Amino acid sequence: MSDTPRAMRQPLGLKIGSAAFLAFWCLLAAFPIVWITLMSFKSPVDAFAANPFDVILGPVTRDRGNGLSTLDLILGIAVLFFALKLAFTWLPRRVTDWSPKGQVWAGWIIGAMAYAVAFIFVFFVILPAILGVLNPILGPLGAPIIGLTTEHYQTIWVERGFYNNFVNSLIVTGGTVTISLTVGTLAGYGLARSGSNIAFWLLIMALVFRALPHSVLLAGYLPVFVNSAEILRPILGENAPTLYGQPLAVITVLVSINQPFTIWMLRSFFQNIPNELDEAARVDGCTHFQAFRWVIMPVMWPGVITTGLFSFLLAYNDYLITALLLDGTNQTMVPAIAGFFNRETTTTDQVVAVAAAVSIIAPLFLLVMVFQRQIVSGLTAGAVKG
């Protein structure tokens, strides 16, 4: 504080005002998400109780025999705390030590997966087993105080087959991110290094395409996709596929819709890399493509990761395109949860839908936690330069 000039310091009233505003905003930002997460762990009577404390403490859920004791809470929070701490200190060191040079990203993927599996094993298998033995011995410390049940998650994931939708989501988002980035980095590099008029017009065209409502394009895709077998038969013969309902078709559509944004963003990242770097490589005898592959790409990872995050969000969050272009068996998570609405006749169904919604949010929550810095820097790089 001491290095701030006195005149720049805020008067007390303003300080309190802005702190109060921030506290209010944080409450507003987090409340709906926190609240539906709480609801998803309670039995329906508690989830829609009139008294907010009943939703938090869940007396009915507890009386039905699903609850956490003081010991459960203490141990659970301790394990979570150490798991997080290890994830941010021990894991990065291990990953950099173990993975071969230049392939740290692959090491991260394997490391993160192994860590996640280990965590699930400890938290959901070992910990309950230990607590099952300890709780009856400890008397009042082991008696349940907060009602909590995972039955809705079991209903959604096991009985309603949400697992399939999750796999479909993974396929669609994985495909979209990979193809988007491959195609986008090439175009972004080309656009960043070319000052020609055509490059400018391409960017303007991309901007106009970015503005198009997606339903405009869908009206064009649907007839072609539904009748694709007939249209493609003269070219591909009898085995011509019907594109409607295929994940691959949806991936291609999502990649194309996302291209305008991807190339704008990657272009601004490439522009931050000095031109001298390519020129040096070219002097050493590289072609443009070799310079791109061996010299520019290794320093581009932050930009690629950020753009990948946004492509991921687009594909993961999409409802309009996946709802219209995928049929029931291939549906991703977001349109699938909208399908629950029709069955939502009882309060139990409603809480099951809440649990499904929380299941969809959970990966996003992790994503922000891990990649917060990239998201912020990516947004700002895209805005300030774009």
Partner 1 sequence: MKFKTFIWFVAPSLFLMLLFIAAPLTSVFLGSFQITQPVVQQVEVETCSAGFLAQTCTTDLQTVPVIDDETGDIVTTTEWVGFLSYARVLEPQRAWEAIKALDYNALMQINFWSALRFTLMFTLVTLPFVIGVGLAIALAVNSAAKALRGPIIFVSLLPFIITPVIGSLSIYWLFVGDGILTRGIEAWLDRDIAMFAQGWTIELLMLFYRVWHVAPFAFVIFYAGLQTVNQDTLESAIIDGASRWDRLRYVVIPHLMPLIVFIALIHLMDAYRVFDEIVGFRAEAHVTSLQYLTFDFLRPDDAGNRAFSRASASSMLTMLGIVVLLIPLLRRTWRDHKGNSH
Stretch 151-210 residues interacting with partner 1 (CB under 8 A): 182-184, 186-187, 189-191, 193-194, 196, 198-200, 202, 204-210
Q: Indicate the residue among 131 and 156 with the shorter CB distance to partner 1.
A: 156
At closest approach, how far in Å is the CB of 46 from partner 1? 11
19 makes contact with partner 1 (CB under 8 A): yes
Q: Tell me which stretch binds partner 1 (CB under 8 A): 104-112, 116-124, 156-164, 376-384.
A: 376-384
User: 41 or 221: whose CB is closer to partner 1?
Assistant: 221
> Alpha-carbon distance 300 to 152, whole Å?
43
Using the rule CB under 8 A, give the single segment among 6-14, 61-69, 86-94, 297-305 that binds partner 1.
6-14
User: In this structure, how many other beta carbons lie within 10 angstroms of the beta carbon of residue 16?
Assistant: 11
**Residue 150 binds partner 1, judged by CB under 8 A:** no
Q: Check residue 366 for interaction with partner 1 (CB under 8 A).
A: no
Measured in degrees and rounded to the nearest 5, phi and psi for residue 149 equal -135, 145
Number of shown-chain residues binding partner 1 (CB under 8 A): 100
By CB under 8 A, the residues from 248 to 307 that bind partner 1 are: 252-253, 255-257, 259-260, 263, 288-289, 292
- Which of 99, 317 has the CB closer to partner 1? 317
Q: Which of 258, 263, 148 is nearest to 199 (CA)?
A: 263
* Least CB distance to partner 1 at residue 337 (A): 7
Kindly list the distances between the CA atom of residue 382 and the CA atoms of 265, 339, 371, in Å, as whole numbers in the listed order: 5, 36, 16
Binding mask 35-74 for partner 1 (x = CB under 8 A): xx--x--------x-x-x--x-------------------
N- to C-terminal Cα separation, the chain: 34
Site for partner 1 in 89-108 (CB under 8 A): none
Q: Choose among 174, 168, 116: nearest CA to 333.
A: 168
Q: Which is nearer to partner 1, 30 or 158 (CB)?
A: 30
In the complex with partner 1, which residue's Cβ is closer, 48 or 115? Answer: 48
296 Cβ partners below 8 Å, 6+ apart? 189, 270, 273, 277, 278
The reply on whether position 33 binds partner 1 by CB under 8 A is yes
Angle at 171 between CA 170 and CA 177, to 5 degrees: 85
Residue closer to partner 1 (CB basis): 21 or 105: 21
Which residue in 182, 386, 206 sits closest to 293, CA to CA?
182
Least distance from C-beta 161 to partner 1, angstroms? 19
DSSP structure class, residue 146 = E
E strand or H helix at 257, and its extent? helix 247-272
CA angle, 354 as apex, 353 and 357 as ends, to 5°?
90
